[in-house]
């Protein structure tokens, strides 16, 4: 295979794996922001907590990697429900600024707590054999872990698409995102719906955090470091849009990877440049409502 | 009918007169306003060996003041104000390192111009939007500038920065001493000039229009106020002031690195302003100084605890002191007696309060329970002294969690009655 084609395939492949991480982690944020207009800067902290639960389970309790991911997602979903019920709910009608301050305060506290208990050094997880090494896909071989991430991402996209577009609850969520008052007036309990999607979104974030350990490394600063990326995906995709979040994750994931491959010095410049251009042309994002 | 019309007209006239009187008189200098300046001068004589710290505090006051102009008065939520601080800082740094221009005052003017220009260009695009889009675009601006600096590290010096910058003597006479005495007075002088300008702006009709935009942008549009132009104007001014703060930062430290563009820097200045109180000029003073003093003491103790402290401070500020320390002080000074008594009278635990208390204790216990399992890994030596066995640790953590969550709830109940009232709403 010629050199440039090889690089192009690598970029597409790594970009796809990265995009899956972005999608899994951001999709919950997008739906909750679309539903309640709540700016949740602690979303990255939920992903970080999920990552550390996976680390603890696999390293201290010898639980397998895959079961740990599932347990982490469920635990974080449970914890997030309590946060939503006790704290967030008071701030739905608050201003943007108050929401930003409250949730960034939570993120700081989470980072400090986890630095205290786990230390600032990045953690890694022991992977099962079949996730190490590489997989040959006919024309060339790829790292097994990235193949796995893309598979998980694709499966989740299918499940979420079905849930969103084909089930009753999905229809209710779409209705509430479109017009909250109207949805309430025809008897949809938007508050409960929100708690449900909040739990789902935080659980997915935790899953994304667990999956990211191998890909990006995990230290307590994860909560803020990648938060900016999640927010960008949400803003570029459009609040509350599954399709938009997926498209934004793909575009940004692949562009960021390409930038890092081809122009290592430029670092994250391209992802922000694309964000600015998209938002200037479509301030509500790809599929957002103006 | 006629009588009530007449009294209504009289009342309107009275209200108009009061409003006019308020507008005319509110910019008058009040004696209490001299206090922070006297304190700043007193600090010069009282703590001659802490002038470096004093310099940083004054610079952050100026930075917070510039944020107050857009956040407190115009209501623009920016998470990227460090962009302008950084542009100012790098203008001075590059002038010295690449062009050999080290005269301090003209550098300040250049920094203000560059930062103002950046603010004008980005603001012209960004300020057409509101809410999340603005937050994201401001954030992206700062990071893009940082990445651009990294890309051309041959000019900017990259993350190693531009070290060892030598600044010419002030007015060609006063050389900077090692202890920062000259520098302190210089920064204080610049701050006084900037403060006077900002004060004039916020009490002018233009400032009044900004407050109108903050409170109700639709109405301002409806009465024909040029909203976008006003926002861009104030954004440019604010950027220029932030640029001057950044320039002073470079001149004081004699170095500058790309970390000035960090998100931390943007977040920090916002925390300071919130802590002091937004939209009230002196909030920037109190917030920045309190923050810097706390940071100076606590981060030496443990940076981790300090970070936890900032988080807690932010949450407490949003919950209990949304108008900042100054707002809190105002409430205490005014002694709103009837309301206070009413609040004290209402502090009786009802059944739903007990329910809420139980639920929050259970929440805390649950989170503590999970934490007990998790904490096993990592700094085990920290735990082993107290609790070695897993069941013991989990129980202790759950107990602590319950107690902490319950006490937070009690404090919350004691300060506001919103808990029970809101939980009843489905």
pLDDT tens-digit series, residues B326-382: 877 777 776 554 454 444 444 556 677 777 778 888 888 887 877 777 665 444 444
The whole-angstrom separation of Cα A208 and Cα A202 is 10
**Structure confidence at residue A217 (pLDDT):** 84
A108-134 in b/e form (b: 16+ CB < 10 A) is: bbbbbbbbbbbeeeebebebeeebeee
What's phi and psi for B155, nearest 5 deg? -95, -50
Contact B263 A266 (CB under 8 A): no
Rg of chain A, C-alpha, whole Å: 19
**pLDDT given at position A32:** 83
Is beta strand A134-136 parallel, antiparallel or unpaired with respect to A141-143?
antiparallel
Q: Which residues of A touch B68 (CB under 8 A)?
A: none
B220 and B209 in contact (C-beta within 8 Å)? yes
3-state secondary structure at position A141: strand
Q: Which residues of B fall within a CB distance of 8 Å from A101?
A: 270, 274, 314-315, 317-318
Q: Indicate the SS3 state at residue B418.
A: helix
Choose between A107 and A5: higher pLDDT: A107
A277 lies within 8 A of chain B by CB: no
Instruction: Supply the angle between the helices A43-60 and A96-118 in degrees, to the nearest 10.
Output: 20
Whether A283 sits inside 8 A of B128 (CB atoms) is: yes
The answer to whether the pTM exceeds 0.90 is no
**Contact (Cβ atoms closer than 8 angstroms) between residue A233 and residue A245:** yes
A29-71 per-position pLDDT tens digit: 888 888 877 888 889 999 999 999 898 888 878 888 999 999 9
- What phi, psi does B173 have (nearest 5°)? -120, -55
Average pLDDT over residues A248-254: 92
- Structure-token pair, residue B284: 């920037």
3-state SS, residue A93: coil
DSSP class of residue B70? I
The C-alpha atoms of residue B67 and residue B243 are separated, in whole angstroms, by: 11
pLDDT, tens digit, 9 for 90 and up, residues A187-243: 999 888 889 989 999 999 999 999 999 888 888 888 888 888 888 898 888 888 888
Judged by CB atoms closer than 8 Å, whether chains meet at B136 and A117 is answered as: no
Tally the C-alpha atoms within 13 A of residue B246's C-alpha that lie toward its C-beta. Answer: 40
Neighbours of A10 (CB within 10 A): 15
Q: Which residue has the tokens 């097994």?
A: A144
Secondary structure of chain A: what % helix, strand, coil (to 5)? 75, 5, 20
d(CA B244, CA B274): 21
Query: Is B270 within 8 Å of B185 (Cβ atoms)?
Result: no
Collapsing DSSP to helix, strand or coil, A218 comes out as strand
Task: Name which of B263, B83, B84, B307 is nearest A226 in CA terms.
Answer: B263
Beta-ladder partners of B162: B256
Q: Is A78 exposed, middle or buried (0-12, 13-18, 19+ CB in 10 A)?
A: middle
User: Is residue B307 within 8 angstroms of chain A, CB to CB?
Assistant: yes
Q: Is the minimum CB–CB distance between B298 and chain A shorter than 8 Å?
A: no
- CA pseudo-torsion sign B2, B3, B4, B9: positive
Cα–Cα distances in angstroms (integers) from residue B96 to residues A10, B168, B250, in the given order: 44, 10, 10
Record: contact B267-A118, CB cut-off 8 A: no
Task: Give the C-alpha separation, A97 to B278, whole Å.
Answer: 11
Give B136-149 pLDDT, tens digit per residue: 889 888 988 888 88
Percent of chain A with pLDDT over 90: 29
- Report CA B263 to chain centroid distance, whole Å: 13
Interface membership of B314 toward A (CB under 8 Å):
yes
Nearest CA in chain A to B368: A79
What number is the ipTM of this complex? Answer: 0.81
Contact A256, A18 (CB under 8 A): yes
Residue A204, classified by CB atoms within 10 Å of its CB into exposed (0-12), middle (13-18) or buried (19+), is buried
CA B269 to chain centre: 4
Q: Which among A213, A110, A197, A201 has a CA at the least distance from the CA of B371? A: A110
Chains A, B: CB contacts within 8 A come to 154
> In angstroms, rounded to a whole number, what is the distance separating the alpha carbons of residues B295 and B282?
20
The residue ranges of chain B whose pLDDT is under 50 are: 1, 337-338, 340-346, 377-385, 418-426
Q: Is A229 on the interface with B (CB under 8 A)?
A: no
Looking at chain B, how many residues does it have? Answer: 426
Q: Describe chain B by its helix, strand, coil percentages, rounded to 5.
A: 80, 0, 20
Residue B390 to residue B289: CA distance in whole angstroms: 45
Q: Which of B377, B406, B412 to mutate to test the interface with A (most CBs of A within 10 A)?
A: B377
Predicted local distance difference test score (pLDDT) of residue B172: 62
């Amino acid at each position: 295979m010629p050199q440039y084609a090889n690089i192009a395939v690598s970029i597409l492949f790594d970009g796809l794996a990265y995009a899956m991480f972005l999608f899994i982690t951001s999709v919950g944020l997008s739906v909750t922001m679309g539903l309640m207009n709540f700016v949740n800067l602690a979303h990255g902290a939920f992903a970080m907590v999920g990552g550390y639960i996976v680390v603890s389970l696999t390293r201290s309790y010898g639980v397998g990697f895959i079961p740990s991911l599932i347990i982490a997602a469920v635990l974080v979903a449970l914890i997030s429900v309590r946060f939503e019920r006790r704290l967030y709910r008071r701030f739905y009608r608050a201003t943007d600024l108050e929401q930003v301050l409250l949730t960034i305060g939570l993120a700081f506290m989470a980072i400090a707590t986890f630095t205290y208990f786990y230390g600032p050094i990045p953690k890694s997880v022991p992977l099962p054999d079949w996730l190490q090494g590489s997989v040959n896909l006919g024309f060339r071989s790829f790292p097994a872990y990235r193949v796995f991430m893309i598979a998980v991402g694709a499966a989740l996209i299918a499940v979420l698409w079905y849930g969103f577009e084909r089930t009753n609850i999905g229809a209710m969520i779409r209705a509430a995102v479109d017009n909250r008052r109207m949805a309430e007036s025809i008897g949809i309990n938007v508050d409960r719906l929100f708690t449900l999607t909040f739990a789902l979104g935080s659980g997915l974030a935790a899953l994304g955090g667990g999956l990211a350990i191998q890909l990006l490394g995990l230290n307590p600063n994860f909560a803020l470091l990648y938060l900016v990326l999640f927010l960008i995906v949400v803003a570029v995709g459009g609040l509350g849009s599954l399709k938009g979040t997926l498209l934004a994750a793909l575009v940004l994931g692949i562009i960021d990877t390409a930038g890092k491959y081809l122009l290592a010095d430029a670092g994250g410049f391209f992802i922000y440049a694309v964000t600015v251009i998209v938002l200037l042309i479509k301030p509500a994002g790809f599929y957002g409502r103006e | 009918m006629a009588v009530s019309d007449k009294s209504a007209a009289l009342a309107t006239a009275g209200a108009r007169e009061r409003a006019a009187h308020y507008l005319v008189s509110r910019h008058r200098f009040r004696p209490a306003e001299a206090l922070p300046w006297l304190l700043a001068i007193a600090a010069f004589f009282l703590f001659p060996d802490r002038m470096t710290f004093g310099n940083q505090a004054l610079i952050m006051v100026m930075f917070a003041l510039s944020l107050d102009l857009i956040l407190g008065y115009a209501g623009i939520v920016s998470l990227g104000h460090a962009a302008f601080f950084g542009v100012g800082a790098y203008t001075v740094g590059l002038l010295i390192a690449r062009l050999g221009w080290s005269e301090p005052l003209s550098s300040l003017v250049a920094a203000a111009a560059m930062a103002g220009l950046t603010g004008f260009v980005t603001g012209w695009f960004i300020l057409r939007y509101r809410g999340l889009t603005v937050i994201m675009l401001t954030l992206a601006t700062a990071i893009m500038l940082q990445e651009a600096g990294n890309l051309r590290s041959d000019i900017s010096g990259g993350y190693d920065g531009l070290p060892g910058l030598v600044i010419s003597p002030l007015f060609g006479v006063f050389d900077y001493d090692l202890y920062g005495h000259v520098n302190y007075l210089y920064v204080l002088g610049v701050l006084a000039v900037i403060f006077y300008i900002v004060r004039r702006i916020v009490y002018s009709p233009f400032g009044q229009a900004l407050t109108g935009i903050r409170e109700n942008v639709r109405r301002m549009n409806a009465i024909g106020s040029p909203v976008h132009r006003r926002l861009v104007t104030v954004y440019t001014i604010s950027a220029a002031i932030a640029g001057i703060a950044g320039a002073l930062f470079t001149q004081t430290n004699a170095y500058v690195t790309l970390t000035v563009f960090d998100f931390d820097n943007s977040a920090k200045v916002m925390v300071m302003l919130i802590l002091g109180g937004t939209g009230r000029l002196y909030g920037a003073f109190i917030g920045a100084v309190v923050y810097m003093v706390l940071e100076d003491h606590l981060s030496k103790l443990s940076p981790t605890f300090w970070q936890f402290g900032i988080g807690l401070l932010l949450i407490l500020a949003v919950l209990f002191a949304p108008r900042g320390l100054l707002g809190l002080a105002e409430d205490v000074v005014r002694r709103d007696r009837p309301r206070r008594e009413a609040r004290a009278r209402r502090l009786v635990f009802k059944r739903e309060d007990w329910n809420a208390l139980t639920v929050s204790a259970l929440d805390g216990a649950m989170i503590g329970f999970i934490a007990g399992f998790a904490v096993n890994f990592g700094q085990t030596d920290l735990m082993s002294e107290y609790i070695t066995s897993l069941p013991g640790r989990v129980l202790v953590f759950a107990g602590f969690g319950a107690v902490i969550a319950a006490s937070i709830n009690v404090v919350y109940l004691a300060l506001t009655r919103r808990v029970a009232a809101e939980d009843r709403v489905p």
